[in-house]
Amino acid sequence: MTTIPRAPQVNPLPAQTRYTGDTLQGVPVISHLAVSDLAPGQRHRVYFQGVQMGTGQHWYVPVVVTKGSRPGPCIALTAGVHGDEVSGIDAVQRVMAQLDPTAMAGAVLAVLGVSRPAIELTRSLWPTAQQGGLAFDMNRVWPGDETGDNAPARHAGLLWNRLLINNVDAVLDYHTVTTGSAFTMFCFADLRQPAIRQMAELLPVEQIKDDPGLAGTLETAFVDAGIPALTLEIGEGRRFEPQKIALAVEGSLNVLKHYGLIEGPMGRTAADGGTVFGNALATVRATTGGFLELLVGLRDRVIPGQPVARQRSAFGDVVADYHAPVAGEVAVVARDALCEPGTRIVQILHQQPPAAP
């Protein structure tokens, strides 16, 4: 069992779960969560009251807290930050189904659909009515702002301040690649930090990118707050990939065992699966419009100059050939045959040498 030093509260709130008095389909609604005052040895199912819509109603986020009968850390599993990335929701549901609150320590906080309007429309970005229909990337607004100038920032602020930051000790954030592409079983993790490296190496993923983090992502917001977190990418958007979901579940249970929430032997880890590590993603983008023929697939090893794709016009003429810029392993490929200029065709995970002093 690994002990997690508790991060300081960034936005201290009363240690009390606040119920609004409303219910949705028999499920109580809360506006604040304090895991500490939930009954131990039980599974608690609630809706978290998120940001208001233009009509004054709220977006409600499904939340499950499985609280063990013994003290221990609280691990958060968050999914659905992007609305077309559904495999993470399925993976978290499957993890929670395997937990017995009477036999575990600590708590697992599952947030099963952060970006509610985007999920309803199976879209990556959060749609708003601002300026006739702006859309926002929910994974560029964390830790949010309850008084911000758009609904996604306010929604993130509510979740951050009233649901997440004062409860959790470590976080797994589940994603997939967005619609139109395919991803390997992939992990973004800041491996400079020992606690995050430990979590990442417990995952039987295909590839791990040593990643310092991107401002505005949920993962980076937690890391900046002193809470270990990483991002797990489970293949393609809009559909379930059962084999990759099973790997995500196995790795997630490994993390819970690592922190002493549940008992049992470890499953497969990065060491067992031949995980490839890198610190950079080289992106090949379309330079023109046309129909795409991929010449490589996920996990293919490539060398500099190797052909990776060819593009043809509507008449069938070859209008562009694309080549690998680096040596590495293919992590992302386009799934849409029709490519506009600028479309991501291929991404290659590779090891970039350190910059010269």
pTM: 0.94
pLDDT at 243: 97
Residue 5, pLDDT score: 43
| CA count, 13 A, side-chain hemisphere, 141 | 27
Residue 13: closest CA among 155, 159, 148, 150: 159
Q: Are strands 126-127 and 135-136 parallel, antiparallel or unpaired?
A: antiparallel
Task: Quote the pLDDT of residue 13.
Answer: 53
- Residue 307 corresponds to which tokens in the numbers above? 């052909």
Q: Do domains 18-276 and 279-350 have the same CATH topology?
A: no
Q: What is the CATH number of domain 279-350?
A: 2.40.50.100
Residue 149, φ and ψ in degrees, nearest 5:
-95, 10
Query: Would you say 330 and 350 are in contact if contact means Cβ atoms under 8 Å apart?
Result: no
Cβ-proximal residues to 355 (8 Å cutoff; 6+ apart), any chain: none
Q: What is the dihedral of CA 33, 39, 41, 45, to 10 degrees?
A: -50
Q: What is the pLDDT of residue 6?
A: 43
What whole-number distance in Å separates Cα of residue 72 and Cα of residue 66?
12
Assigned superfamily of 18-276: Zn peptidases (3.40.630.10)
Q: Which residues does the chain have with pLDDT short of 50?
A: 3-10, 14
**For the chain, what is the HEC assignment?**
CCCCCCCCCCCCCCCCCEEEEEEECCEEEEEECCHHHCCCCEEEEEEEEEEECCCCCEEEEEEEEEECCEEEEEEEEEECCCCCCCHHHHHHHHHHHCCCHHHCEEEEEEEECCCHHHHHCCCCCEECCHHHCCEECHHHCCCCCCCCCCHHHHHHHHHHHHHHCCCCCEEEEEECCCCCEEECEEEEECCCCHHHHHHHHCCCCCEEEECCCCCCCHHHHHHHCCCCEEEEEECCCCCCCHHHHHHHHHHHHHHHHHCCCCCCCCCCCHHHHCCEEECEEEEEECCCCEEEEECCCCCCEECCCCEEEEEECCCCCEEEEEECCCCEEEEEEECCCEECCCCEEEEEEECCCCCCC
R_g of the chain, CA atoms, integer Å:
21
**What is the rounded CA–CA span in Å between residue 38 and residue 228?**
24
Q: Distance (Å, rounded) from C-alpha 246 to C-alpha 252?
A: 10
What residues contact 156, with CB distance under 8 A and at least 6 apart?
A: 138, 141, 142, 143, 144, 145
* pLDDT (0 to 100) of residue 273: 79
Cβ neighbours for 25, distance < 8 A, ≥ 6 positions apart: none
* Among 166, 169, 173, residue whose Cα is nearest residue 195: 169
Closest by CA to 63, choosing from 27, 91, 95, is: 27
Domain limits, the chain: 18-276, 279-350
pLDDT of residue 9: 44
- 119-171 pLDDT, tens digit per residue, is 999 999 999 999 988 999 999 999 999 999 999 999 999 999 999 999 999 99
> Which pLDDT belongs to residue 11?
53
